Amino acid sequence: MNKAYILLLTGLTLSAISLRGQSDYCTTLDQQGLIFCDDFESSEPLTGRYFEVDDNNGEFGVQPGVGRDGSKGVRGLWQEGEVDAGGLLKSFGRTPSNYIGQHANLPDSNFMEVYWKLDVRHQEGWQGNGPAKLCRALTMANANWATGAMAHLWTGGPNDQYLGMDPASGIDVNGNLVTTTYNDFANMRWLGWKYGTTPMFADQEAGKWFCVEGHIRLNTPGESDGVFEFWINDTLQQGSYNLNWHGDWNADPDHYGINALFINNYWNAGSPVEQERYFDNVVIATQRIGCPEPVTRVESAPNGQEIFRVGPAGFEWDLLPGLSGEVIVSSVLGQVAQVFQVQAAGFRPFAPEMIPGIYYYSVRLSDGQIIHGPALVR
């Protein structure tokens, strides 16, 4: 069967500037009720957007090529036995202190309902199943980091292969703030653990991107109608719809709503080996976000010199003298379909096992440049 391959990105060129994958996710996102979006393409340091950044001694941070489709993303590296591999703390809305409120989006708003979403991937060959903590949306109730509602998403289920929801609150059913600091376990109410249906931490899922979205709605003061639910790749995993998060605490307009998102790389038992996971495309909003396919582009120079392209029967390239590189072609699920080396000028036919569908290629050149894009196999 003949296959027609259509290059969806054009203008792949070489110049004195670096070619690199860049995500247009946040600039093209048409999101109602948007509070915050970060595709990690900004040259601004993370400390300019988050009120706290744990860079794990330089082993947690933005890197080129580790995000969706070869764009920028955040890499977290666990050493063997390491528990805490870094994280990001983001505030939004009204907050109880100047420190927590650093870089808060919409700082005069009270949010009683929030959706949040992030893309996460574990390296190929990942070991140990789920690495415990992933993220949580929460109410920072005072300057001492006492917490109200805590919408935890973390590992659980059989063999720790699943993501689960573990809602908790530091406000009692009568509306009294009883926690005095962060992780004040002695004074928390736990509202019901549930784990999902997608084994995203199983061995066979390593190397794939997953889109995780959570939703929290605080209860009407005095009622038990609060919500916590979450999706993976737009598939609802679990939900609770009768929660008493705060009693009548939010009847007082001076009290706080949902005002923080924590993204964690915290593995209580420690990582069994040195390994990495990656984050991209963080969104916070007041309405459902979903998992749209990220839009990518390749920055190019005006000289129009094409050095890598997809032809009707395979990949073609024409590199400058001294350059070499590696090409990795993957399916939309992150499964590697073809890997080969390039130098000088040449041609490589498509792998015969590449069935019709969308594929993504990434060309990593010896001088650090990256070219990437999708191709549609018909």
Percent of the chain with pLDDT over 90: 68
DSSP, residue by residue, 307-342:
-EEE-SSEEEEEPPTT-EEEEEEEETTS-EEEEEEE
**C-alpha dist (Å) from residue 53 to 67, 119, 154:** 18, 18, 20
pLDDT for 359: 73
pLDDT for 51: 99
Residue 28 carries which DSSP code? H
Task: Determine which of 135-144, 213-222, 316-325 has the lowest per-residue pLDDT on average.
Answer: 316-325
Question: Is position 70 within any domain?
Answer: yes
Range of the domain at 316: 5-18+299-377
Structure confidence at residue 235 as a pLDDT band (50, 70, 90): very high
Question: Is position 326 within any domain?
Answer: yes
Question: Is position 291 within any domain?
Answer: no
- Torsion angles phi and psi, residue 200, rounded to 5: -70, -15
- Higher-confidence residue: 353 or 356? 353
pLDDT for 333: 61
Q: In angstroms, what is the C-alpha Rg of the chain? A: 23
**Residues 277 and 304 both lie in one domain:** no
Residues 268/134, Cβ–Cβ less than 8 Å: no
Asked if pLDDT for residue 302 goes beyond 80, the answer is no
If you count them, how many residues does the chain have? 378
Residues 169/150, Cβ–Cβ less than 8 Å: yes
Asked if pLDDT for residue 22 goes beyond 80, the answer is no
**Residues 88 and 48 both lie in one domain:** yes
Pairing of strands 133-140, 113-122: unpaired
DSSP, residue by residue, 32-93:
TTEEEEE-S--SS-GGGT-SEEE-GGGTEEEETTSSGGG--EEEEEEPTT-SEEEEEEEEBS
Residue 26 carries which DSSP code? H
Mean pLDDT of 198-222: 96
Asked if pLDDT for residue 157 goes beyond 90, the answer is yes
d(CA 92, CA 284): 9
Give the model confidence (pLDDT) of 62-81 as tens digits: 999 899 888 899 999 999 99
pLDDT for 228: 98
Token representation of residue 189 = 């109410």
d(CA 38, CA 166): 25
DSSP, residue by residue, 129-161:
S--SEEEEEEEE-STT--EEEEEEEEEESGGG-
- Higher-confidence residue: 318 or 174? 174
**Residues 267 and 310 both lie in one domain:** no
> Mean pLDDT in the chain?
87
Burial class (CB within 10 angstroms; exposed 0-12, middle 13-18, buried 19+) of 353: exposed
Question: Is position 71 within any domain?
Answer: yes
Task: Determine which of 15-29, 85-99, 319-333, 338-352 has the lowest per-residue pLDDT on average.
Answer: 15-29
pLDDT for 306: 56
Asked if pLDDT for residue 15 goes beyond 90, the answer is no
**Residues 304 and 280 both lie in one domain:** no
d(CA 338, CA 71): 20
Q: What is the CATH classification number for the domain harbouring 255? A: 2.60.120.200
Asked if pLDDT for residue 10 goes beyond 70, the answer is no
**Residues 242 and 196 both lie in one domain:** yes
Structure confidence at residue 308 as a pLDDT band (50, 70, 90): confident
pLDDT for 12: 31
Domain count, the chain: 2
pLDDT for 299: 34
Asked if pLDDT for residue 23 goes beyond 70, the answer is no
